[in-house]
A and B are shown apart, each in its own frame.
Chain A
Amino acid sequence: MTLLQLEKVSRRYPIGNTVFGSRKSLTAVDQVSLEVKKGQTTGVVGESGCGKSTTGRLALGLEQADSGHVLFEGKELAASGTREWRLRRQRMQLVYQDTLAALDRRMTVGDLIAEPLVIHEIGDRPSRRQRVLDLLQAVGLGEHHRALYPHQLSGGQRQRVVLARALAPSPSLLVCDEPVSALDVSVQAQIVNLLVDLQQDLGLGILFISHDLRVVRHVSDRIVVMYLGQVVEDGRADAVIDQPLHPYTQALVSAMPRLPGGFDHYLPLPGEPPSPTERPSGCPFHPRCDRAKDICRQTPPELLTLGPERRVACHLVSNP
């Protein structure tokens, strides 16, 4: 069952002086379509600046799309800031990367986790207290953590608190924006495993955003690859990892260390990811693609549907 659906969603930001200057804009997210099913994880992967975080914020309605539709549990999201929008927060929650910034440093862990319950008027004082204890346990923390302040915790523990806080109102969708990138590799694994466990227990749908294909692969049922605001490839996780079709995906996959069954040769990704302000003509990836043809420089490739759950945007596939 589809929990979250993005249909050709675009987001543009005006740049430059809006009063006297020209009204230029950059397109952060360009016609992105993706979906998250109930109890499943959709991973979004791409380099920084590819629009994956904006996609996450659009999915939550934290930002308003300029065009396209965001459907959550079959309904279009209400405008940001309205009462209806606020009520909807119970069902969809965000997990942050920068946990130190995201947690009010003047509140205890217990108060932080209870806050969503207070906001949405769920339960009374004793029941909230019990719920906080349950949540602490669920994310692998103990009762003694309740009275601590965020800065007294390690990064991994803080990420658990953020997770508990997000889970408090019993959401059906979690958007995890680089949830482990700030953590040590060993802690990363713990958190990722916790997420997988919780998902199974609670039947959560997760939109998992990361630049790290390794982590994405570990948690995702489906993977969406983004480049310069566009989806360049998506499909079932194993299909995308085992048979990447887009040269960009291939480069990402080949860059994954020690992947069993991975590519024998490492395809280097030359150059830095281009900035969205200077979008190349034709295929956005062509300046860095070693297989670019003439057509790539002129015509942007369409996102071609190959199978029921497989799409790719590359002239190699559409005009071989």
Chain B
Amino acid sequence: MTSLLPYIGPKLLRAALSIIVVVTLTFFVLRASGDPALQILGPGARAPDLAAFRQQWGLDQPLYVQYLRYLWGALQGDFGNSMLAGKPAAELVLERMPLTLALMLPALALNVLIGIPVGAYAAMHRDSWIDRSVMMLTVLCFTVPSFVLGLLFILIFSVTFGLFPSGGADKWQSFVLPVLTLGTGGAAVIARFTRSAMIEVLSQLYIVAASAKGVTWRQVIYHHAFPNAIIPILTLLGLMLGGQVAGAVLVENVFGWPGIGQLLVISVGNRDLAVVQVILLLVALTMTSANLTMDLLYGVVDPRLRNARQGSH
């Protein structure tokens, strides 16, 4: 058996490097964007105060010392304080994490629970009118930007019919529209992908099924077509994560959802850099670990691939 390490090793290294690049870039961009002492104390600050501030925060040290300190702090979860809230930035972000997850995880579930059945159904009824209209609908769903979609939902379901609230996060009803908005685009992408993946698998399996007696069509689909299509779908989910994160930022703002996305926009507006930086790092971490997981999954499931990739470089 081939060891997984030579396959995953370089990817792990790459992921770690990516994170380091993000951290480093943030640090330098942060420093380049202006004198933190001036930013925090304001342009009217007196020179002795500025000097004292710089000394207190180590800003008078050489840049590399500051960088190392920054790294050391980051490792311990210290990203500085939010200027606005006067609290540690990391704390502020983590506080809001549950609400954002409460939005993203159901949306993810929606992606899969709607996308796969719809796509599979369309594949099995290929070229029927249902297939055609569903596919047309999916184009609409994944191309429309989430903030427009969200507002249209509000217009239809809240303003016109008064079915769901248009904002807030207090009742279960509040979840419906944001989750729907966030989940629709992904579901459409997955539906389209599932359809084409299934069609490909089905076209290969047709002969097998026809020749193997006693095997029903249904069994073929459940035992062969689905398992074969599921891995590419998982990969796709990994690839879609970036879009979901960006979508969450917009959706949270459309619905006034007090999650990380809203915090990000507020912090950007106020140039609350410490908070922005924590969120940036959080997203980077999430994305790289998601990618890594997908790679790992692929390597475990498909040893051929792992050898092929190794050899090709």
* A–B contact via C-beta, under 8 angstroms: yes
- Closest-CB distance, A18 to chain B (whole angstroms): 9
Nearest-CB residue, chain A, relative to B9:
A20
Complex alpha-carbon distance, A250 and B138, angstroms: 70
Complex alpha-carbon distance, A17 and B9, angstroms: 12
The 4 closest A-B pairs by CB, nearest first: A17-B313, A20-B6, A20-B9, A20-B10
Q: How many residues of A contact B (CB 8 A)?
A: 4
* B-contact 0/1 string along A20-54, CB 8 Å cutoff: 11000000000000000000000000000000000
A101: chain B residues at CB < 8 Å are none
Q: How many residues of B contact A (CB 8 A)?
A: 5
Please tell me if B18 contacts chain A, counting CB pairs below 8 Å. no
Complex alpha-carbon distance, A252 and B9, angstroms: 49
Nearest-CB residue, chain A, relative to B310:
A17
List residues of B (1-45) whose CB comes within 8 Å of A's CBs.
6, 9-10
A20: chain B residues at CB < 8 Å are 6, 9-10
- Closest-CB distance, A314 to chain B (whole angstroms): 37
Nearest-CB residue, chain B, relative to A17:
B313
Complex alpha-carbon distance, A21 and B310, angstroms: 9
* B-contact 0/1 string along A265-294, CB 8 Å cutoff: 000000000000000000000000000000
Nearest-CB residue, chain A, relative to B312:
A17
Please tell me if A1 contacts chain B, counting CB pairs below 8 Å. no
Some 8 contacts from A to B, beta carbons below 8 A apart, are A17-B6, A17-B310, A17-B313, A19-B10, A20-B6, A20-B9, A20-B10, A21-B6
B310: chain A residues at CB < 8 Å are 17
Beyond A17-B310, A20-B6, A21-B6, 5 extra complex contacts between A and B, CB < 8 Å: A17-B6, A17-B313, A19-B10, A20-B9, A20-B10
Of the listed residues B9, B10, B313, the one surrounded by the most CB atoms of chain A closer than 10 A to its CB is B313
List residues of B (217-244) whose CB comes within 8 Å of A's CBs.
none
B313: chain A residues at CB < 8 Å are 17
- Closest-CB distance, A30 to chain B (whole angstroms): 25
**Mostly helix, strand, loop or mixed at chain B's interface?**
helix
A21: chain B residues at CB < 8 Å are 6
Complex alpha-carbon distance, A21 and B3, angstroms: 13
- Closest-CB distance, A23 to chain B (whole angstroms): 14
A17: chain B residues at CB < 8 Å are 6, 310, 313
Complex alpha-carbon distance, A273 and B313, angstroms: 25
Complex alpha-carbon distance, A21 and B309, angstroms: 13
Complex alpha-carbon distance, A19 and B10, angstroms: 9
A19: chain B residues at CB < 8 Å are 10
Of the listed residues A19, A20, A21, the one surrounded by the most CB atoms of chain B closer than 10 A to its CB is A20
- Closest-CB distance, B239 to chain A (whole angstroms): 25
Complex alpha-carbon distance, A17 and B13, angstroms: 15
Complex alpha-carbon distance, A21 and B313, angstroms: 11
Complex alpha-carbon distance, A20 and B8, angstroms: 11
Complex alpha-carbon distance, A319 and B6, angstroms: 49
- Closest-CB distance, A146 to chain B (whole angstroms): 44
Complex alpha-carbon distance, A21 and B311, angstroms: 10
Complex alpha-carbon distance, A21 and B10, angstroms: 11
B6: chain A residues at CB < 8 Å are 17, 20-21
* A-contact 0/1 string along B300-311, CB 8 Å cutoff: 000000000010
- Closest-CB distance, A15 to chain B (whole angstroms): 11
List residues of A (135-182) whose CB comes within 8 Å of B's CBs.
none
Nearest-CB residue, chain B, relative to A18:
B313
Complex alpha-carbon distance, A72 and B310, angstroms: 41
Complex alpha-carbon distance, A193 and B187, angstroms: 68
Complex alpha-carbon distance, A21 and B9, angstroms: 11
* A-contact 0/1 string along B272-313, CB 8 Å cutoff: 000000000000000000000000000000000000001001
Complex alpha-carbon distance, A20 and B14, angstroms: 13
Nearest-CB residue, chain A, relative to B5:
A20
B10: chain A residues at CB < 8 Å are 19-20
Complex alpha-carbon distance, A231 and B215, angstroms: 64
Complex alpha-carbon distance, A17 and B6, angstroms: 10
Complex alpha-carbon distance, A250 and B9, angstroms: 51
Nearest-CB residue, chain A, relative to B313:
A17
* B-contact 0/1 string along A99-133, CB 8 Å cutoff: 00000000000000000000000000000000000
Complex alpha-carbon distance, A21 and B307, angstroms: 13
Nearest-CB residue, chain A, relative to B6:
A20
Complex alpha-carbon distance, A239 and B140, angstroms: 78
Complex alpha-carbon distance, A64 and B230, angstroms: 49
Complex alpha-carbon distance, A21 and B6, angstroms: 8
B9: chain A residues at CB < 8 Å are 20
Complex alpha-carbon distance, A53 and B310, angstroms: 28
Complex alpha-carbon distance, A97 and B11, angstroms: 40
- Closest-CB distance, B26 to chain A (whole angstroms): 27
- Closest-CB distance, A284 to chain B (whole angstroms): 26
- Closest-CB distance, A17 to chain B (whole angstroms): 6
- Closest-CB distance, B10 to chain A (whole angstroms): 6
- Closest-CB distance, A112 to chain B (whole angstroms): 35
* B-contact 0/1 string along A292-303, CB 8 Å cutoff: 000000000000
